Structure 1
Amino acid sequence: MRKPLNNAQCITLTLLWAALCFIVLTSAPKIDGPLTLMLIISGALVFIPIIKSIKSRNK
């Protein structure tokens, strides 16, 4: 099993995801369903491993 992410890695991943969302939202001509679905799915792909890592660190 992999080592859990440390705090700096969690913060870096979160900030990079937020920056990517900001770029996508500001460059999109309009905010529609597929765009919001993509942002939700990307958030899940980013935050589920972070949450699992924090939970495994606390054990």
Structure 2
Amino acid sequence: MENKSDPTRKSGKPAPKGREERLKAALKANLARRKAQSRARSTSEGTDNKDE
């Protein structure tokens, strides 16, 4: 196999808008999911202590 550069990727140029939008949406979804997980953990920790 030869190492040929991908003609769609050009170094030094900004990323296409579509890719940036996808990354932005993925980052936002990831952050929301992590916040929800954190909230769920904090509420479950509070309920566990009541049983003791």
Q: TM-score, with normalisation over the residues of structure 2? A: 0.49
The structure carrying a bigger helix percent of its residues is: 1
Q: TM-score, with normalisation over the residues of structure 1? A: 0.44
Bigger radius of gyration: 2
Kindly indicate whether structure 1 or structure 2 has the higher relative contact order, using CA contacts under 8 Å at least 6 residues apart: 1
